[in-house]
Structure 1
Amino acid sequence: MRENEIKYLKSQLVEINPDKYELGITFGENKVIFGMTGDNHYSIIFEYKALIATFLNLCDKINYSLDKAIDLTYNTDIYDKFDLFKPSSKDEVKAYYYIENGIFRIATLWDLLAQIYNLLYKCEIKNNKINYYKFFENLSKSDDMNIKESAQRLVDYFNEISDGKYENDKRWIGNHKEVNIYRNKMTHRNSPDETTLSNFDINLKSHPSVLLRRVAEDYKQATTWLDKVIIEVIESVFND
C-alpha cells in the first residue's frame, strides 16, 4: 500500500519540457530578442514569456518540495508512528515544511492562471488587483460561452466541499478548499501541524500523507489548467 501511495503521489508531480512552451522571437542570424516594453504585439509576447517562465520556475520548486515531502513522509517513522496528540517529531516538522512550501507556491500558480487569462482574453484588470477566485467568478458571467464554461468549471472546483471519502484510486473531493483552510491557518492563526485545544483555537493536525495527497492533487489541477491555457496562448500568438 505504501509503495502504491508513493507511486500515485509521484505521478501528480509535473514533468516539464520547457521547449513545449517556447515563444522565442529571433532576428538576423538567429539572434534572440531578450525583452521589450510598450503596447505593440511583440511586447505582449514578452508578457506571456515572463508568465511562462514563472510557471516553469514554480513547477521546479514545487516538484522539489513535494518530492522531499514524499520521501520524508513514507521513508521515515512518520508513516507508522504518527501520533495525533504528541508534538511533531523533527522528521514531521521537515515534512510539513516542504508541504507548506509547496502550498504557498501552488497558490501562486492559481494566481498565475488568472494573470494569463486576463491577458489572453483582454480583461484589462491591473496585475496587482487580481484575486484568482474573484477573477474567475466574474469571468463565469461572461457572454462568451467558451470563457464562461471554463471559468465556471474552475469556480466549481474551488468551491468543492470534502465528502469525507478517501479513495485511493480517485481524486479526493474538496482539495482546493481544504488546502486553502490549511494555508489560512498558517497565516492568520496557529501552526496547523500541531494539535491544540484552547480558547485561541481547536486544531487536530493531519497526518502528512493526508495533507500531501490533497496538496499534490491540487497542484495537478493547477498545472493541467495552466498547460491548457499556455498552449492556447502559443496558438494565438502564432496565428496573429
Structure 2
Amino acid sequence: MNEQKDKEILYFQNKLSSVDYNPQRFKIMFGEDKFLFGVVSAGNDDAPFGKLMQYKTIHDTLMDLDWKIKLSFNETIKFSYSDEVASNFSLMRTDTEEERLAYYYLENALFRTSSLWDMLAQLYRLYFDINIPKEKVYYKQIFNPTNNYSHDFKIKATEIYGYIEQDDNTDCEDEWKGNHSFANALRNKMTHRNSPNVAVMSDFDMNLKCHPVFQIKRVIEDYSVVSQYIKDILDQIENDIMDSFNYEEK
C-alpha cells in the first residue's frame, strides 16, 4: 500500500515540476541591472513595445498563478494522503479536519487551473490579433475550429478543442481522458449549485463524494496539459518577436 501511495505522489510531483516559467522571458535589459518595466501606448495598441509589455503582463500573471497552483496542489496531496483520511474517508460524511483541508486546497487548485485556460486564450487573442475585447475572451470560443477566430491557427485549435471536448475514459494506464470536462463540470457545480464534496440526497441534488486523490489526478493532469499549450504559444511568440528587441535570454 505504501509503495502504491509513494508511486502516486511521485507521479503528481513530476507533473508539477514539469511546469516551469522563465522569469527572464520578455524582459528587455538595459545594462546589468536595469530593465524595461512597462509601456502604456498612446492610443496605439500596435506599438511594438506596447504589445511586448502586454505579453509580459500575461506572463507575469501566469507565473503568479502557477506558484499558487503548485502550493495548493502540494497541500492537497499532503492532506489527501494523510493517515487520517486513509483511515476515515467515507462517501457519506466528512469526519476529519485533514479531509476538509484536502478539499479546500484542491478547490483552490481547480479554480486557478481553470483561469489558465482563459490566459491561454488571451495569448492567442493578442498574438493572432483576434478582434475581441480582452474582457470578453472565453477559451472555448477562441479554440472552436468552426469559428472564424481560429482561422490562423486552425490545426492547433482543432487539437486543443479536441482535448477540451474529449470523452471520459479512466481505463488508461497513464493520463486519463476527459479530464478537462470533468474538472470543468466540478468547478461549475461548485460555483452555481452545491458542493460536489458534500454528500447529499434531496430533490435539489443527489451526490456522493469522490475521494480527493481521484480529483487530484484529474485536475493535475488538466493543469499539465494547459500548461504545455501555454508553453507552446509562449515559445512561438518569443521566437517570432524577441529578436527585434535585441533580446538575450539569461
Range moving further from structure 2, 72-81 or 199-208: 72-81
Shift in CA distance, 224/28, structure 1 to aligned 2, threshold 3 Å: closer
Shift in CA distance, 98/129, structure 1 to aligned 2, threshold 3 Å: same
Which among 23, 28, 46 is matched to residue 26 of structure 2? 23
**C-alpha distance in 1 between matches for 2:76 and 2:146:** 35
Shift in CA distance, 130/88, structure 1 to aligned 2, threshold 3 Å: farther
- Is 1:163 the equivalent of 2:169? yes
Q: How far 1:80 moved relative to its partner?
A: 4.2
**Identity %, equivalent residues:** 32
- The alignment partner of 2:241 has SS state of helix
- Aligned match of 1:74: 81
Shift in CA distance, 236/191, structure 1 to aligned 2, threshold 3 Å: same
- Aligned match of 2:154: 148
**C-alpha distance in 2 between matches for 1:30 and 1:7:** 39
- Aligned match of 1:100: 107
- Is 1:212 the equivalent of 2:216? yes
- Aligned match of 1:192: 196
TM-score by length of 2: 0.88
- Aligned match of 1:176: 180
Shift in CA distance, 89/75, structure 1 to aligned 2, threshold 3 Å: closer
Give, as a single letter, the amino acid of the residue that structure 2 aligns with 1:183: R
CA contact (8 A) 1:140 1:151 kept: no
Offset from partner CA, 1:110-169 (integer Å, 9 cap, x none): 00000001111111211001111111115765444xx1011111111111121242x4x4
Shift in CA distance, 88/118, structure 1 to aligned 2, threshold 3 Å: farther
Which runs of no fewer than 5 residues in structure 1 stay unpaired? none
**C-alpha distance in 2 between matches for 1:216 and 1:29:** 38
- Is 1:6 the equivalent of 2:9? yes
CA contact (8 A) 1:27 1:33 kept: yes
CA contact (8 A) 1:140 1:152 kept: no
CA contact (8 A) 1:139 1:151 kept: no
- The alignment partner of 2:39 has SS state of coil
- Aligned match of 1:135: 142
**C-alpha distance in 1 between matches for 2:146 and 2:121:** 10
Q: How far 1:37 moved relative to its partner?
A: 1.3
Offset from partner CA, 1:50-97 (integer Å, 9 cap, x none): 000011111100000000011111123213431111235321110000
**C-alpha distance in 2 between matches for 1:134 and 1:164:** 27
- Aligned match of 1:52: 59
- The alignment partner of 2:204 has SS state of coil
Shift in CA distance, 229/125, structure 1 to aligned 2, threshold 3 Å: same
Which among 86, 91, 94 is matched to residue 93 of structure 2? 86
**C-alpha distance in 1 between matches for 2:234 and 2:28:** 17
Which runs of no fewer than 5 residues in structure 2 stay unpaired? 245-250
- The alignment partner of 1:32 has SS state of coil
- Aligned match of 1:126: 133
Which among 216, 219, 226 is matched to residue 222 of structure 1? 226
- Is 1:231 the equivalent of 2:238? no
**C-alpha distance in 2 between matches for 1:29 and 1:186:** 48
- Is 1:35 the equivalent of 2:41? no
**C-alpha distance in 2 between matches for 1:88 and 1:124:** 51
Cα RMSD (Å): 1.8
CA contact (8 A) 1:140 1:149 kept: no
